[in-house]
């Protein structure tokens, strides 16, 4: 039986498979008992809806971190560029308006704290313990490494690290998320819980 969400998720732009979103939802329900939830890379709010719907069930909170200027692949001329999200006046990507529209339509504003800034800037003074960190930001090696190094250390013992777009075979997709996934496992601070499509779920030991 599919998960019931407060909005037709197919109307929300994004690249998260339904199976991955449902896995995040169930994970967040458990993680909220350990600390706040945080996602890096909200885009138009697809993953946010899955996570915040879980937070609503258990009176949790989701911090949604994104500068909303698009990742490398969203820029003009790149594979995943969306002209509807391009602000012609300032010649920059801007997904924040669409993100807010979707979260409002889903009636989830009371469970989402949008943080509109680069991941590294937000993390500078961060001190809130996290039960779940979902990394789905920029897919360059530098961006993925920055997100991992900034946020993995804030996950409480027993909390979860979820990483999207893990492709062991380079022919299937970029390798940066797979690199930080392997880095987390090699650190001995995380153990594998499961993989769902391209979503890797790890627990902090």
CATH number at residue 92: 3.40.50.150
Exposure string for 107-138, b = 16+ CB within 10 A, e = fewer: ebeebbebbeebbeebbeebeeebbbbbbbbb
pLDDT of residue 72: 87
Which structural domain range is residue 83 located in?
9-204
One of 25, 68, 139, 164 is an active-site residue; which one? 139
Tell me, yes or no, whether 58 lies in a domain.
yes
Residue 99 phi/psi, 5-degree rounding, is: -55, -50
Tell me, yes or no, whether 3 lies in a domain.
no
pLDDT of residue 16: 97
pLDDT of residue 19: 97
**2 versus 185: which is more confidently predicted?**
185
| Count of domains observed in the chain | 1
Tell me, yes or no, whether 53 lies in a domain.
yes
Handedness of CA 84, 110, 106, 163 (dihedral sign): positive
Could you read off the pLDDT of 88-108 as tens digits, one per residue? Answer: 999 999 999 999 999 999 999
Q: Extract the tokens encoding 1.
A: 């039986």
Active site residue 67: no
Tell me, yes or no, whether 1 lies in a domain.
no
What is the rounded average pLDDT of the residues 174-203?
98
Tell me what the pLDDT averaged over the chain comes to. Answer: 96
- Dihedral angle at the C-alpha atoms of 119, 122, 124, 125, nearest 10 degrees? -150
Checking if the pLDDT of 43 tops 80, the result is yes
């Amino acid at each position: 039986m599919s998960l019931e969400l407060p909005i037709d998720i197919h109307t929300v732009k994004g690249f998260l498979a339904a199976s991955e979103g449902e896995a995040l939802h169930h994970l967040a329900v458990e993680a909220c008992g350990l600390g706040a939830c945080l996602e890096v890379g909200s885009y138009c709010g697809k993953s946010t809806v899955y996570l915040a719907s879980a937070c609503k069930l258990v009176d949790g909170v989701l911090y949604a971190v994104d500068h909303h200027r698009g990742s490398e692949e969203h820029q003009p001329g790149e594979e995943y560029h969306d002209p509807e999200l391009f602000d012609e006046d300032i010649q920059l990507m801007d997904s924040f308006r669409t993100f807010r529209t979707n979260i409002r339509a889903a009636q989830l504003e009371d469970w989402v704290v949008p943080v509109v800034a680069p991941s590294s800037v937000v993390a500078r003074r961060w001190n809130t313990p996290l039960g779940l960190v979902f990394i789905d930001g920029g897919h360059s090696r530098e961006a993925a490494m920055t997100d991992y190094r900034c946020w993995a250390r804030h996950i409480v013992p027993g909390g979860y690290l979820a990483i999207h777009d893990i492709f062991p075979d380079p022919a299937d997709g970029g390798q940066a998320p797979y690199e930080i996934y392997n880095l987390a496992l090699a650190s001995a601070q995380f153990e594998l819980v499961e993989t769902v499509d391209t979503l890797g779920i790890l627990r902090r030991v």
